[in-house]
Chain A
Amino acid sequence: MEVLKKGRPGFLGLGAEEATVRVTKRSAEAEPASVILAEEILEKLLALMKIRASVGLKQPSPQEGAGGLAPIALEITGEDLGILIGRRGQTLSSLQYLVYLMVSQQMKARVSVTIDVEGYRERREAALRNLAQRMAEGVKASRQSVTLEPMPPRERRLIHLALQDYPDVVTQSIGEGEDRKVTILYKKE
């Protein structure tokens, strides 16, 4: 609610003026300034990279965004966008990180930004959970440890979380930097 004109109480009811206020309904359509800014920045970056695609808003996952500005989730749709994802999602991570910095700098506050391309992140997450289950089954059956391929921090975290309650196995990250990977170990009694 925004006060356009302050009312005046007047004197004994004489000369009183009513206040004028504008009430904005908070609906799903009303996008906050940070969201509009994030969309604009991403569109501009894609245009400068000569990539034809459209940018839309994606429903953010509810577990995100403790305090501060609401997290922003954007989705890029278009054709032939593999180039935007890159090897192990590296290009998408770079794009997401820069948009986060640019939006945060302009909003003067940290704004969480996630960007997906054609549902890539969801597909990748489902594939990783699936991989974690299969590998853990193998470790449990063979009692032999298995090391997965190198993954970025977010993906390793997903594997650790997926297997935290899995019986008879423990997970651990080994290696440094780009080469860091998850090992699934058989837990001895």
Chain B
Amino acid sequence: MKELIEYIAKSIANNPDAVVVTEEREDGDDERVTLKLQVDPEDMGRVIGKQGRVAQAMRTLLRVKAVKEGVRVNLEIG
């Protein structure tokens, strides 16, 4: 899961080396995945976007993958 967000964030950040994505999985009836995206403070605006447009687009693509894998996924930024 996290590779997708890592790839997107590194490609749009001015400081790709500071991009870190961590993944936590909670098993249960429905498996939940929580991704945490951390970037250089200067890049926060780039990965969130105006009115959260970039974050929203990343979540939309993430959902496609989650549906295919049958998990619930959550993306936190910051």
Question: Which residues of A does B touch, CB under 8 Å?
Answer: 41, 44-45, 48-51, 83-84, 86, 90-91, 93-95, 97-98, 101-102, 105-106
Contact = CB atoms under 8 A, between A and B. Distances in A.
Nearest to B4: A48
A91 B60 contact: yes
B60 A86 contact: yes
A102 B12 contact: yes
Given A45-B61, A98-B61, A50 B11 contact: no
B11 A51 contact: no
A102 B6 CA distance: 12
Nearest to A92: B60
B61 A49 contact: yes
Interface of B: 3-4, 7-8, 11-13, 53-54, 56-58, 60-61, 63-65, 67-69
A98 B57 contact: yes
Contact of A49 (B4, B12, B54, B57): B4
Nearest to A51: B64
B65 A49 contact: yes
B11 A84 contact: no
A18 B58 CA distance: 55
A48 B67 CA distance: 14
B67 A83 contact: yes
Given A45-B4, A45-B7, A48-B4, A105 B61 contact: no
Contacts of B56: 94
A50 B61 contact: no
B65 A91 contact: no
A90 B57 CA distance: 9
Contacts of A95: 57, 61
Given A48-B3, A94-B56, A101 B61 contact: no
B58 A84 contact: no
Contact of A101 (B12, B60, B68, B69): B12
Contacts of A97: 53-54, 57
Contacts of B3: 48
Contacts of B11: 41, 101-102, 105-106
Nearest to B67: A83
Given A50-B68, A101-B54, A94 B61 contact: yes
A84 B63 CA distance: 10
A94 B56 CA distance: 8
